[in-house]
Amino acid sequence: MEPYEHRRQRPLHRYRYGWGHYVQHRDGERHGHRRRAHRHSTKPQATPADAIRRSRRFLRGRWPAEIGKQVGIGLALALGIAFAVCAVLGVLTILQARHDLRGAQSEATAIATDRNQLFTAAGRARAATRIEAMQKGADSAAQLVDSSLPLRVLSWIPLVGQQVTGVVQLVDDFDVTSHQAGTLLASVNTLVAVSHGTSVSLPALDILDLRVHQAVIALRPLNRGSGLLIGPIASARDSFDKQIVKVDSLLATGQHLLDYVGPFLGTQGPRTYLIAGENNAEMRDQGAVLSWAVLTADNGTFSVSKAQSVGKLAIRRPAPYPLPPGTASAFGALQPTRVWQSVNATGSFPLSGAVMAAMYHQRTGKSVDGVIGVDVVTLRHLLEVTGPVFVPGIPAAVRAHNVEYVLLHGLYLLYPAGWEQGLRHDEVAAVAKAAVDHMKAHHYDLAYLVDQLAKSTRGRHLLVWSRFSRLESAVFGFGASGSLVDGGTSAIHLAIQSAVAAKLDWYIHTAVTYRVLVDQNGTATISAKIVVANTAPPNGRPHYVFGPDHINSFVRGQYVGRLDLWFPRHAITPGGLAESGLTLARAEVNVLPGHVGTYYLVAVVPNAVKNGRYQLHFIPQSTLFAQATKVVFSAPSWSVGGPASATWLANDPVMLRWTLSH
């Protein structure tokens, strides 16, 4: 249709009176206009009715609707373009930040996978370089995401904003972590640099203590959880949180250790400690205490007295220390409060340490502030740090790789006569003294020393008791207390204890298989099969090593002893005793040389499953040879999450966890 034109139409007439008028011309609709009054004429005054009529004519046109529609489309298009631009720029920012963060993560991984580098000056220098690179990468990534306008815009959009916030938090959290790592490493370097020989710089130790506490405060809130995050962002968050949990646990252990070390070194006055030398060739729960020395510390400096045989500390009557009823029933016949060789029969070193302090006081009239149990495995770790030492009575240097053979076998060959045993009794404590003396004149790395001693505590080879309850809590916190319930009352601990006046544990190897069955009511049945192998040669010599003692053994090399198996606290077992916070079951052992014995113990634990969870904490005995351990788990009436079986050599504690649901 042709557009409509007035007979005498002014230029641009069709556009001058609104959208409706324009449509009339466009669609060819005939219409007229009232002639306007002459400019000089008197214009009649508009009435309210005229205004209403004009409004109705305006609203009948499509002007407002069309314009609103066009404006809405324009705004939507503009917002869409803005979102697309922000999304593209935001993704580019995240990718660049991810690139920077990956570089920082690779440096962090290199440090975490090679922890040994932290125990030498050169290694810490490399770690410092890596941490510096990690900080640069984390700083760059944090600066990118924190200053990105597109990411700020996207953060206002539901769900998308949560992902953006998750990225920003993750980058910032990694930045905080890297800076804390740098601060801690610098403090460690300072402490090592200003500590010499047997003197530890207490001001530098205080600074490290402060930095560790600050790191705990800074890092603990960073375990945020993935929440509503999705995809790779959620995976990255979960991975970071797992690492933070590990770091947080290490820092908490470090806190407890530092809380103990200062007072231990005499920051609050002189301190005296009894060193109990434990011999792994004559096992109680820990090695039999056969030698001793005294460690003194004051104002950061420590030293060790001459080592001696426990025969010098013999007492005629029991020390006045009350034993718990279960301990008295299980071990009272061994006189653990009078006989030094029996004081470690109980599985609880907090009890053994307190008893030893009482026995020492009864014999000497002197009090000690703590007791330190040291066995041959601890000496091996100590000699890794100090290097070889020379001990009177031992014709060759004692080194990390030969200390176990020398002290637990070689000296028996060197002093075969029974009357020469006194010369050998002193050697465990004597090597510990020689190692401490060696520190005074030779360089060693303090960080490496702490690491090696930590390895000893995990296997119960180095245990500590303090008479101060606050410090005993700190010892409990860093895992050196020797308590069987430091991982909870779900612990299991198997110990083989010699009952022969001989030194046959050098030849004894044990393996145990635990079968755990959980019924539909949540009751657990734990069956233990223990295999004891006696590798002693028949007709071995000397007599005081291989026996027989004609009391419990009557064949040379015959091993007679007892298996003590501590089940979880509420376990029910034939002849069970409440001891060391758990339930003790026992079996007699009698194995001829070159033979193997198999023994069985079983316990029932009612209501073992708590809130759909079940766990067992396996604590090793401090034997010379790691115990081969296997666990087989079944719960036919449950849907189980967790290992159906697990096998390991029991050098360190192992925690197994399962989730169960119907």
Query: How confident is the model over 400-410, as pLDDT tens digits?
Result: 999 999 998 88
Neighbours of 548 (CB within 10 A): 17
The confidence score (pLDDT) of residue 292 equals 95
Q: In whole angstroms, give the CA distance from residue 657 to residue 641.
A: 9
Q: In whole angstroms, give the CA distance from residue 547 to residue 419.
A: 15
**Six-digit token pair at 170?**
């993750």
Neighbours of 315 (CB within 10 A): 16
**Higher-pLDDT residue of 415, 373:** 373
Q: In whole angstroms, give the CA distance from residue 153 to residue 249.
A: 38
The confidence score (pLDDT) of residue 104 equals 56
Average pLDDT of the residues in 424-442: 86
**Six-digit token pair at 220?**
């603990």
CA quadruple 382, 384, 385, 390: dihedral, nearest 10: 70
Neighbours of 306 (CB within 10 A): 10
The closest alpha carbon to 324, from 42, 581, 150, 502, belongs to: 581
Contact between 597 and 532 (Cβ < 8 Å) = yes
Q: How confident is the model at residue 315 (pLDDT cuts 50, 70, 90)?
A: very high
**Higher-pLDDT residue of 462, 119:** 462
Do strands 645-650 and 627-634 pair parallel, antiparallel, or not at all (unpaired)?
antiparallel
Contact between 524 and 516 (Cβ < 8 Å) = yes
Average pLDDT of the residues in 344-364: 97
State which amino acid sits at residue 652.
D
Helix axes 160-194, 63-113, angle to 10 degrees: 30
Q: In whole angstroms, give the CA distance from residue 389 to residue 391.
A: 7
Reported as a single tens digit per residue, the pLDDT across 578-604 is: 999 999 999 999 999 999 999 999 999
The closest alpha carbon to 349, from 261, 498, 476, belongs to: 476
Contact between 151 and 168 (Cβ < 8 Å) = yes
**Close Cβ partners of 111 (under 8 Å, ≥ 6 residues apart):** 117, 118, 127, 130, 131, 181
CA distances from 532 to 191, 408, 495, 562, 566 (A): 47, 20, 11, 11, 17
Q: In whole angstroms, give the CA distance from residue 313 to residue 275.
A: 13
Least confident stretch, 30-44, 48-62, 373-387: 48-62
Q: In whole angstroms, give the CA distance from residue 651 to residue 189.
A: 30
φ, ψ of residue 53 in degrees (nearest 5): -65, -40
**Six-digit token pair at 627?**
């115990």
Do strands 613-619 and 654-661 pair parallel, antiparallel, or not at all (unpaired)?
antiparallel
Beta strands in 481-548 (DSSP E): 491-498, 508-518, 524-534
pTM for the model: 0.82
Q: Which domains does the chain have, with CATH numbers?
A: 71-264 (no CATH), 271-477 (3.40.630), 491-661 (2.60.40)
Q: How confident is the model at residue 425 (pLDDT cuts 50, 70, 90)?
A: low
**Close Cβ partners of 16 (under 8 Å, ≥ 6 residues apart):** 10
Contact between 412 and 315 (Cβ < 8 Å) = no
* Proportion of the chain in helix, strand, coil states, percent, rounded to 5: 45, 20, 30
The confidence score (pLDDT) of residue 157 equals 61
The confidence score (pLDDT) of residue 112 equals 59
State which amino acid sits at residue 557.
G
Least confident stretch, 79-93, 285-299, 522-536, 538-552: 79-93
SS3 37: coil
